[in-house]
Amino acid sequence: MDAAAPPQTAKSVTEADCLNVLAELRPLLASPTAQASSRFRDALDELLEVDHATPALVECLLLIAQYFYLANQPATGLTAAKAATAHARRLDNIPILVRRALSTEGIMRKETGDLPGSTQAFADALEIARSVGAPDGEGAVWNNLGVALMSSAQYMDALKCFERAASLARGSTQHPDVEQSALTNIANCAVHLKDVKTGIKAVRRAIELNPTPTSASDRYSRVSAESNYARLLLEIGEIGHAREHSDTARRFASEAPTARAEFVAAMTSGLVEVNSSNIDIGLTRLKKSLEQARRSVRSEVREALSACVMGYEAAGQPDVALVYLHELLAMNREARAAQVLMHHQQHVERLEQPAFSPGSIDVAMANHRGKLRIQRGERELMRNRILLLEQQSVAAELHDDTTGEHC
């Protein structure tokens, strides 16, 4: 009889092997080539077979997750991030690595539409950052948590997270990118809240902190900042200056080049063209951006819908803007319902724990009342937007009606 085949074992990859992979992939992340995607995918397939956890292995997986985030392939990025978290948890006395892995996993869960899972990952990362007394790391988590809240249209809550992140990261040497990222996100919240003054102040500082981006991630950050700047300027009718910043965003997007940066720049360019009376060109770019978001990254659909509402409203087509606005509201309700379900489960778990002290109950009640006031204000803002679009739509219909039937 032939000898039995030896049992399959996990692939043996040493710390040195992982360091070599890191040395190869880091330049590809900074300046992606046409072959970068296949190389990162091959590296991921190889590393997923590794059983022995090492710090370098976790670093490799996090790098791969970052690449697929920029490449608008979040499902693959989530696979890498979940593996990084699992391996990081198995390492002894490296809580900072666990925090980074959880933060990356939270980002990827948000990108794939799992907002409750994203929020939970960020909450776990925040707990670790606080336990080790790392304000720099805590700032990074607050920034990511704000992005998750922004994805469910909770802009006021997100704004508080970003302000906290910017404050904690100010002057940081370990996380120099967090402050400018948080400031860019403040500007994005300001776009949706129509708070032009706050947004422009934040985005100017973000650009000052990232004057000459060279890596793909830094260029994407600059694209986001310039795009937010352009949208804020459109709110006050500064179309010429808005075009300048939109063109700068497109230039950095072409230099990156990553799918995410190109998406953001094209969407903003569409808005600028509409406001410049190049309506057909602008609306075509906005519709293409929405199609790309639906096809590639669900997390960007909300932003694309918001841009379409603004674009069609500026183009004098309130009936179409209203259709997109209702879809946007449905998405917001769905996201908030998922968050409510998660909070309900956490509330049930807390009920099984020892009772709150009277003081903590007062604090909890005050926080809850504050959140309700914020949500009521956001609903009122959206209700007024719908009413205005409906009035504009009716007015346009009456203007075009030559029969007199609607009089």
List pLDDT tens digits, range 277-316. 999 999 999 999 999 998 877 788 999 999 999 999 999 9
Which one, of 152, 151, 146, 106, lies nearest residue 128 by Cα? Answer: 106
**In the chain, where are the structural domains located?**
39-151
Q: What is the pLDDT of residue 137?
A: 82
Sequence-ordered list of residues with C-beta below 8 angstroms from that of 349, at least 6 positions apart, any chain = none
C-alpha dihedral, 123 to 128 to 134 to 140, nearest 10°: -30
- Phi, psi dihedrals of residue 406, rounded to the nearest 5°: -95, 0
Q: What is the pLDDT of residue 379?
A: 57
Q: What is the pLDDT of residue 136?
A: 76
Q: What is the pLDDT of residue 213?
A: 94
CATH architecture assignment, domain 39-151: Alpha Horseshoe (1.25)
Give the position of tokens 């948590």: 145
C-alpha dihedral, 342 to 343 to 346 to 352, nearest 10°: -130
List pLDDT tens digits, range 102-146. 999 999 999 888 888 998 999 999 999 988 887 778 999 999 999
Sequence-ordered list of residues with C-beta below 8 angstroms from that of 286, at least 6 positions apart, any chain = 267, 270, 271, 274, 304, 307, 308, 311, 312
Sign of the dihedral through C-alpha 390, 392, 395, 401:
negative
Q: What is the pLDDT of residue 15?
A: 81
The one-letter amino acid code at 371 reads K
Sequence-ordered list of residues with C-beta below 8 angstroms from that of 253, at least 6 positions apart, any chain = 219, 220, 223, 261, 262, 264, 265, 266
Per-residue pLDDT of the chain (407 residues; tens, 9 = 90+): 444 444 444 456 788 889 999 999 999 998 888 899 999 999 999 999 998 899 999 999 999 999 999 998 999 999 999 999 999 999 988 899 999 999 999 999 998 888 889 989 999 999 999 888 877 789 999 999 999 888 888 899 999 999 999 999 987 777 788 999 999 999 999 999 999 999 999 999 999 999 999 998 899 999 999 999 999 999 999 999 999 999 999 999 999 878 899 999 999 999 999 999 999 999 999 999 999 998 877 788 999 999 999 999 999 999 899 999 999 888 878 776 665 555 545 444 544 444 444 444 444 445 545 554 555 555 566 566 666 666 666 565 555 555 545 44
